[in-house]
Amino acid sequence: MHTSELELWRKRLAKEGSQPAYRLVAELIAEDIGSGRLQPRERLPPLRELARALGINYTTAARAYSEAKQRGLIDSHPGSGTFVKGKAVSVKPSNGYEMTMNLMIEPAIPTLIERVRDSAISVLAQRDIYSLLRYQTFGGSHHDRVAALQWLDRRLENASLEQVLICPGIHSALVGLLMQLASPGQLICVESLVYPGLKAIAAQLGLTLHSLERDSDGPLVRPFEEICKQGQVAVLYINPTIQNPTTTTISLGRREALADVALRYSIPIIEDDAYTMLSEEKIVPIADLAPELTYYVTGTAKCFGPGLRSAFLHAPTKRQAQRAAGALRATSVMSSPLTDALVSEWITDGTADAMLKAIRNEAIARLALAEKILGRQRIDSAKGAFHLWLKLPKHSNWNPSELAVQLRSHGVSAVASAAFSTDNHPPEALRLCFGGQLTRDGWEERLHYVADIIDQPAYLSSLTM
């Protein structure tokens, strides 16, 4: 609260002596909240400072704050201070908004939405509808695999049509690959922070995850080699570009070192590159460094939405693609021909590129807001990503899991580090997603709440907003 505002209060007190000073101070607080001069969560001066500035005694100042608190205008907590409660805006989540999932940004661009709709209508108008409703051989039609290869060519140097399979989502591809490549008693090497879906798959299949220590550049090479020497490793799972949850993109040197170990010990690699198309950096996939070992998986969920359930798998060889197709067919029968047709059309007619560009641009703008409001030192992030990794300050009063629950109750898509941890030592951090139904203004509003609740946990956790 500015000194000039307190000076206005002092003049009003001197001018209007018809009611007790403590009541008038409470009225002044109410007026300034109503006019917007005082904002929700704004700190008010301590009692002694208020008394000195207004020319009243300490007891009167205390009675003024007590009156304002009884009216629901302010709140206070020992050690945190006194804050404006005001007319805080509710930011409850929308119906059906799943706040524990990492949802892509939905660009609110009318011309783009119309383009997507027109392209989808074109597919339905031009194709034999019954052909899209029949069973098909697992892996997609020749036409759809050609479109998938066009997408994969953006990352892979030597992608081959014979090695491409279309799958009903990356998650289902991972289920089939782990069923094929790993057996109970063998180890799946993963980072100490990993996509929660992989943890769920491993638990369902009775497979053991072996956690690899990581740094800011990804999983460490030496621990990977040490466990490979023991002969129990079935596969290395890696999410190397804009990793979920930390947004880390593994450097070329680290990729080369990991690929070298895998080659020396003949360890298959599952390269989950779900977020790669969001990055405009020049990236060398591990599949290009160890093509004879790597199952490369990417898809369209992060640039068109997870509702499509469409993913592309590039196997190391034609024979391994056929084996993978058998394992995948046992779990999911086939991908949806209608979905495949839509995705193929969007890739070939340029709609996918337009959507991807719009998502990147909006993600970059929202990240700039996060860096401004939360501070760059608090977050790990990547341009184009629609999630960030929020690191809690040392000696924070918050447990990450409790904070995530509190944030979700106020419309912030937050997931605590424990959900991603594979070593039982989760860091003091959370993943925040700024996609889904969220608007840029809504994200900015939530960012202010995140910043405030970290800095003033005792006060804000008590408010009902």
Q: DSSP characters for 150-166?
A: HHHTTT-SS--GGGEEE
The residues pairing with 233 across neighbouring beta strands, listed in sequence order, are 187
Instruction: Pick the range with the lowest mean pLDDT from 7-11, 210-214, 216-220, 249-253.
Output: 7-11
**Both tokens of residue 311?**
């993913």
pLDDT in tens, 273-326: 999 999 999 999 999 999 999 999 999 888 888 888 899 999 999 999 999 999
58-70 vs 21-35: helix crossing angle, rounded to 10? 50
pLDDT confidence of residue 396: 81
Residue 111 has pLDDT above 50, yes or no: yes
| Whether pLDDT at 464 is above 70 | no
Predicted local confidence at residue 310, as pLDDT:
92
Euclidean distance between the first and the last CA atom of the chain, given in angstroms as a whole number: 22
**pLDDT tens-place string over residues 146-155:** 999 999 999 9
Residue 96 pLDDT > 70, yes or no? no
79 pLDDT band, cuts 50/70/90, is low
User: Residue 91's pLDDT is what?
Assistant: 43
Question: E strands, 96-186, where?
Answer: 164-167
What pLDDT score was predicted for residue 463? 47
- Distance (Å, rounded) from C-alpha 43 to C-alpha 53? 16
Helix (H) or strand (E) holding 12: helix 3-15
pLDDT band at 39 (very low <50, low <70, confident <90, very high): confident
Q: How far apart are CA 403 and CA 397, in angstroms?
A: 10
SS (H, E, C) 398-455: CCHHHHHHHHHCCCCEEEEHHHCECCCCCCCEEEEECCECCCHHHHHHHHHHHHHHHH
Q: Considering the entire predicted model, what is its pTM?
A: 0.79
Q: How far apart are CA 462 and CA 75, in angstroms?
A: 9
H or E stretch at 9: helix 3-15
Model confidence band, residue 137 (pLDDT cutoffs 50, 70, 90)? confident
Report pLDDT digits (tens) over 382-397. 999 999 999 998 878 8
Among 33-37, 117-121, 261-265, the minimum mean pLDDT is found in 33-37
- The 10s digit of each residue's pLDDT in 420-456 is 999 989 999 999 999 998 999 999 999 999 999 887 7
The whole-angstrom distance between residue 427's C-alpha and the CA centroid of its chain comes to 17
